[in-house]
Amino acid sequence: MTGPTPLAGLKTVEFTHMVMGPTVGHVLASLGAEVIRVEPIGGDQTRRLLGSGAGYFPMYNRHKQSICLDLKSEGGMEVARKLCERADILVENFRPGALDRLGLSYEALSETNPPLIYCSEKGFLPGPYEERTALDEVAQMMGGLAYMTGLPGKPLRAGASVIDVAGGMFGVIGILAALEERHRTGKGQKVISSLFETTIYLVGQHMAQFAVTGKAAAPMPARVSAWAIYDVFETKDDPVFIGVVTDALWEKFCTLFGLDKLWADDTIRKNNDRVLARDRIMPQIRELISGFTRAEVVAKLDGTGLPFAPIGRPEEMFDDPHLAASRGLEPVMLDDGTETRLPTMPILMNGKRPNARAIMPQPGADSQTVLNALGYGSDEIETLVSTGNVGIT
C-alpha cells in the first residue's frame, strides 16, 4: 500500500460471497487492514460468474489474502476458529444462521475473543422478513427504489449494485463506530447491516417529501423537478445534462446562449416561476441545444459554474482525464494476468488517495502463509492439504 493506511494492524477474517460482504472487506483492506478471505476449496463461485457478475470479484476483493478451507471438515474448522480467535473483525454475509450452525456465531466466538467486532451483512434486520432470501434487486423492488427509478408502472433497478455497496459501507460505518467504542470499553460487539433497511434509508427523502407535502413522490422520470432547467438535452450527436439551479445561473445561461427574449421576460426571473412555466420554456431550450454538438455545449458551459455533464459510459471512465490526474484508478492484475485499472476508494486523506497496485488473490494462494502465522508446522500443513481440509495453490 502506498497511500494512507489508517487501519494498519487490524486483522479481519472474511466469510463472504457476491458483493455486499466483500465490499466491507474491500473498504477495510483499501485502508490498510489485513483481510484474510476464507473461500471454499477451489475458490468462491463469485470468481466464475458471467455477464453482469463478471466484475464482482475483481472490484470488491483487491488487497485481500485468500485461504481455502473445507468448513465441513474438522481440520478446516479448526483453522477457521483459530483465525477468528485472533481477529479484530469478522465479516460475513451468508444466510441467517449459516455460520451459527458451524459454531462460528458471535456468541460462541466472543467467549474466546471478547474484543471481536462481528459484522453480519444481511437481507433484513431482525423482524418478520429476516428469514427471506434477499438480493440487491429484491431490496430495490421491495423498498421503493425501483419504483422511483423507472417510468410510471415500469419499476427499474438502478444501473449498479447500489444497495449491496451502500449496505457494505453502512457495515463499515458500524465497524468503525464499534472500534471506537472498543477503545473505551475493551469489548467488541455484533454489527448488522441490511439490504432492505439500506434501501429504505436511500428512499427516505421521498418518504419525507410525502410527510411534508401530503403527496406521494412521483418516479424520477415523471417528477416535477425543483428547477425548470434540469434535464438531459439532445445535441447534434450525443446528449448532455444541464442544470440551472439558481436565478443568477439563469441569467448566465441566457447570456451564454443568447436567450435575450427569455431573459427579458420578467415573469420568469425567479426559479419557482420558471418551474410553473416549464412547458413554455423547455421546448425553446431543447430546440436551441439541439443545434449544437455535445463538444460545443461542453465548451460553452465549462468553467461557468453551471452544472452540466456529458452522458458517460462506464468503459469511458478508463480514459477520463480527471480520474487520471486524481489517481482515481489503481492498477490491478486480474486472475488471468491481464493488467487493468479499477476505481480506488473515493476519498482523500492527508492529501493522498488510498491507491496501490493490487494483484487478485488466487484461491488459497495465501493458505500456507496464513497457516504459518497461526503456528502450524510444515507436517501439519501437509496433512491438512493432503486430506482436503485446506486448499493451496
Q: Pick the catalytic residue: 44, 70, 136, 164?
A: 164
CB burial string 168-193: b at 16+ within 10 A, e below: bbbbbebbbebbeebeeeeebbbbbb
Tell me if residue 217 falls in helix, strand or coil.
coil
Q: Are 265 and 254 in contact (CB under 8 A)?
A: no
C-alpha span between 164 and 168 (Å, rounded): 6
Q: Which class for 145: exposed (0-12), middle (13-18), buried (19 or more C-beta within 10 A)?
A: buried
Q: Which residue has the cell 436511500?
A: 202
Cell numbers at residue 274, please?
Answer: 420558471
Cα separation, 113 vs 104, whole angstroms: 12
Partner residues linked to 39 by β-bridges = 68
Would residue 279 show up in a list of annotated catalytic residues for this protein?
no
End-to-end Cα, the chain, rounded Å: 24
Any idea which residues carry the catalytic annotation? 164
